[in-house]
């Protein structure tokens, strides 16, 4: 931006924005780089979305009240414990907005979702980073982190490790003067979640997305579950109509057809197991993942990433410490994963 009379906030020119996965289009592209679901959404989602098109001249319900009731019933909570948003990224942004200002810091681990520090910086704050252990375990210092808000993805990308309810409870119990945010974007692919802990801790928030297991990444739907008093305060920060009419109805349809989601999630978990075994047989080291992705470690990971791209297969490569020796691979259909493995066999020759 050229010099002018405009006065941007001082932190903005130096801010490094979040970099999404590459979005190449083409019928021959196998897209395994953004953790999308390889299966279509339930037909009930499409039905509700189409019906909502008849009312597009009207504003949507500003509080997404019906959707909040549906979500509350699904999780065994009360509607006032739910806040919905334009993807879970908006939900995370609202949380940072509520707790972080200039010179404030969030607490986060490394490795994890790289959006967290970007959100903190966008409000003039920063991030205190607590490195994970050699086997990706939580560091002791993280349990006593003094920052006002703590973020932990669970399962935690890009590795996919799942932390126990006991560890999450300890995070909540150790400092009750801070908010603990458990980002459960991939919870439907894991054997357990932390929603039940909401009954025990007022300083706990659990966030979810419809992008992964519900096959609605293009709709941008997310929500949080937390204490009613916190939800009421966060409602003041959201846009007046932050979730459009079509998205609200699609989300209701997705919950109504949640059985189909669970079937697809089980298919993905099964395919994940086969993929891990095949990668190990090729010589990759693959840490245990409870997400819809795996992290395949190899000394020549970057070269393999580029060679796959030349073949029209997109995976994610992170040129940062502790990740530059691996590729994050989203789990696609069995056929897509077979094509991936066949391509890697060629590359390894």
Count the neighbouring beta carbons within 10 Å of the beta carbon of residue 338.
15
Average pLDDT of the chain to the nearest whole number: 95
Instruction: Using DSSP bridges, classify how beta strands 326-330 and 293-297 pair: parallel, antiparallel or unpaired.
Output: antiparallel
**pLDDT for position 26:** 63
CA 166 to chain centre: 22
245-289 pLDDT, tens digit per residue, is 999 999 999 999 999 999 999 999 999 999 999 999 999 999 999
- Is there a contact between 226 and 203 (Cβ–Cβ < 8 Å)? no
- Is there a contact between 209 and 185 (Cβ–Cβ < 8 Å)? yes
For the CA atoms of 97, 100, 105, 108, what is the dihedral angle to 10 degrees? -30
2-21 pLDDT, tens digit per residue, is 556 677 777 777 777 767 76
**pLDDT above 90 (res 166):** yes
**Complete domains list, the chain, with CATH:** 21-40+259-348 (3.90.1150.10), 43-256 (3.40.640.10)
- Is there a contact between 71 and 255 (Cβ–Cβ < 8 Å)? yes
pLDDT exceeding 90 applies to what percent of the chain?
91
171-221 pLDDT, tens digit per residue, is 999 999 999 999 999 999 999 999 999 999 999 999 999 999 999 999 999
**pLDDT for position 2:** 55
State the residue for tokens 């607490």. Answer: 107
pLDDT exceeding 70 applies to what percent of the chain?
97
């Amino acid at each position: 931006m050229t010099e002018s009379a405009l006065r941007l906030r001082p932190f903005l020119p130096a801010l490094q924005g979040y970099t999404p996965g590459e979005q190449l289009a083409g019928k021959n592209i196998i897209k395994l780089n953004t953790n999308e679901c390889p299966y279509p959404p339930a037909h009930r989602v499409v039905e509700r979305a189409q019906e909502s098109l008849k009312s597009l001249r009207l504003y949507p319900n500003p509080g997404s009240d019906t959707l909040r009731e549906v979500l509350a019933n699904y999780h065994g909570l009360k509607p006032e414990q739910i806040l919905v948003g334009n993807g879970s990224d908006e939900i995370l942004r609202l949380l940072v907005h509520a707790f972080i200002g200039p010179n404030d810091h969030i607490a986060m681990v490394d490795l994890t979702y790289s959006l967290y520090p970007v959100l903190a910086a966008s409000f003039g704050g920063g991030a205190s980073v607590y490195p994970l252990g050699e086997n990706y375990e939580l560091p002791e210092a993280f349990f006593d982190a003094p920052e006002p808000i703590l973020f932990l993805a669970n399962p935690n990308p890009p590795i996919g490790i799942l932390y126990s309810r006991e560890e999450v409870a300890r995070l909540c119990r150790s400092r009750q003067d801070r908010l603990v945010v458990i980002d459960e974007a991939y919870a439907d692919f894991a054997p357990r979640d932390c929603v039940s802990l909401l009954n025990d801790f007022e300083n706990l928030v659990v966030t979810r997305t419809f992008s992964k297991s519900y096959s609605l990444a293009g709709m941008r739907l997310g929500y949080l579950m937390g204490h009613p008093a916190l939800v009421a305060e966060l409602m003041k920060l959201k846009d007046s109509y932050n979730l459009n009419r079509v998205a609200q109805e699609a989300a209701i349809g997705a919950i109504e057809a949640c059985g189909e989601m669970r079937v697809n999630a089980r298919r993905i978990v099964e395919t994940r197991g086969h993929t891990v075994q095949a990668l190990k047989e090729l010589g990759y080291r693959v840490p245990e993942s409870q997400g819809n992705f795996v992290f395949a470690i190899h000394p020549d990971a970057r070269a393999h990433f580029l060679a796959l791209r030349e073949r029209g297969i997109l995976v994610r490569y992170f040129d940062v410490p502790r990740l530059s020796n691996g590729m994050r691979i989203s789990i696609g259909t069995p056929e897509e994963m077979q094509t991936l493995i066949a391509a890697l066999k060629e590359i390894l020759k």
